[in-house]
Chain A
Amino acid sequence: MYEVETAAEMLLMVGQNRPEEARSESFDSPSVTLVRQVLRGDRDSFGRLYSLYAPMVHGILLARVPAVEVDDLVQEVFLQALRKLSTLRDAKAFGGWLAMITRNRAMDFHRRRRAGEELTEEIAAQPGERRNEAVEVLEIIRSLPEAYRETLVLRLVEGMTGPEIAVRTGLTPDSVRVNLSRGMKLLREKFKEGAGR
């Protein structure tokens, strides 16, 4: 039974990079216009694009790298995206494209850290008891499979709705729905495991 579920999850994860299936005009059309305006050198449009997509980039990074590093990496991701924006063929695919850049940047962060510096103790660096508690919960979410943790962070940390996650990240709404549902189920199980110890 578990194997069947895993296979189904894999299929959903494979289908996650199909932005054309995730179209929802209510979210999509402003981004397309903004991307085109940014390509013409409009600063204000890039500011609005940043405001729209910064939570998504922040959430994707938060699901993968320490919270203290995220803000700097968000800037780096947008800088990289801006440099490569002219290579984006379809402005409609901006969300999925940016999400991919963000995931690659997170992987690159881990590669560099493995090669050099020691991992800083994230919880110690965060002031405030409630924030520490939040980081602990985040660590549990990070222990989930990648597809689940990213979607859960976007939903629970960044406060995005399922349809919004689908449009911003380029995932299909079905994938987001399944990821949220199964991710939440696994998270509850983890909480129970933690409470049972």
Chain B
Amino acid sequence: MSDYLWDKSGEVDPEIEQLEELLGTLSHKPHAATLPDSLLSQVGARAFTHWSEWAAAAVLILMGLAGLWIGSERLDARAQIPSLATQEIAVAPVETGHISETAREVRREAHSHNRSNNEIASGRPFRRRPLFNLYSNQNSAQARSQTNVPQSANQDAVSQTPMSVEEIAEARRARDELILALQVASAKLNHAQHRAQSLTSTNPGLNP
């Protein structure tokens, strides 16, 4: 092989030189040897990927911290439930032969408070039953109790001595205050329950 074909040194081969001249028209043009803008922008983007990786890691850490914070809030909400549920509830005297709708609500609230309190005291985890299930249980309990309650209430009313007008008014005020207090407690409980449910729905793994 001639040196000219190998490294363009030595005697020039006319045939090869002719081919070089002819085929050189198809060669890579010097102006095209400069880097296009489209590729330059890719270099910048590539350098940026290092920063984007760091940013992604930071976002993950923030998400983890947010999860911890939400978890601690949930624990606080749980801690509020026993304090509310351990409040003693005094039931106002019931008028003869009549259980008002409000009294029923009071009983229902007291029942649910006691139930939650028992669950906490026994160390069992909260069970999130569907509301319809809870109400159906309550309704069946009420249906059972309604057959008995009027009789016992009538018996209690018969055994009680008649109250004066002032005493009745005072009892009603006390009952209203109690209802108000229970409504506040109920609202707080509902709020806590909603928060716990929303946490459970967003991250079921948190719920034991």
- Interface residues of chain A, those whose CB is within 8 Å of chain B, are 38, 40-43, 46-47, 50-51, 54-55, 58-59, 62, 67, 71, 74-75, 78-79, 82-83, 85, 128, 130-131, 133-135, 137-138, 153, 155-159, 161-163, 177, 180-181, 184, 188
Q: Are B26 and A131 in contact (CB under 8 A)?
A: yes
Q: Are B26 and A134 in contact (CB under 8 A)?
A: yes
B48: which A residues are within 8 A, CB to CB? 41
- Interface residues of chain B, those whose CB is within 8 Å of chain A, are 1, 5-8, 15-16, 19-20, 22-28, 32-36, 38-40, 42-44, 46-48, 50
Q: Are B33 and A133 in contact (CB under 8 A)?
A: no
A51: which B residues are within 8 A, CB to CB? 33-35
Other than the given A43-B44, A67-B26, 17 more pairs (CB < 8 A) read A38-B43, A46-B39, A51-B34, A55-B27, A62-B26, A71-B32, A79-B42, A82-B42, A130-B25, A134-B22, A134-B25, A135-B26, A161-B6, A162-B5, A180-B1, A180-B5, A184-B1
Q: Are A41 and B44 in contact (CB under 8 A)?
A: yes
CA distance in complex: A133, B22 (Å)? 8
CA distance in complex: A20, B44 (Å)? 31
A158: which B residues are within 8 A, CB to CB? 27-28
Which residue of A is nearest B20, CB measured? A156
Question: A interface, by DSSP: helix, strand, loop or mixed?
Answer: helix
Measured CB to CB, the closest approach of chain A to B93, in angstroms, equals 81
**14 CB-based A-B contacts, threshold 8 Å:** A41-B48, A55-B28, A59-B28, A74-B32, A75-B36, A82-B46, A133-B22, A156-B20, A157-B23, A158-B27, A163-B7, A177-B6, A180-B1, A180-B6
CA distance in complex: A67, B36 (Å)? 19
Q: Are A184 and B42 in contact (CB under 8 A)?
A: no
Q: Are A161 and B7 in contact (CB under 8 A)?
A: yes
Measured CB to CB, the closest approach of chain A to B132, in angstroms, equals 56
Q: A54-B28, A159-B27, A161-B8 are in contact. Are A137 and B39 (CB under 8 A)?
A: no
8 residue pairs, one from A and one from B, having the closest CB atoms: A41-B47, A58-B28, A181-B1, A47-B35, A162-B6, A157-B23, A161-B7, A51-B33
Q: A75-B36, A75-B38 are in contact. Are A157 and B50 (CB under 8 A)?
A: no
B16: which A residues are within 8 A, CB to CB? 156, 184
Q: Are B40 and A43 in contact (CB under 8 A)?
A: yes
Q: Are B5 and A79 in contact (CB under 8 A)?
A: no
Q: Are A134 and B40 in contact (CB under 8 A)?
A: no
CA distance in complex: A177, B46 (Å)? 38
Measured CB to CB, the closest approach of chain B to A110, in angstroms, equals 19
A131: which B residues are within 8 A, CB to CB? 25-26
Partner of B32, one of A47, A54, A130, A138: A54
Interface centre among A41, A42, A133 (most CB of B within 10 A): A41
B40: which A residues are within 8 A, CB to CB? 43, 46-47
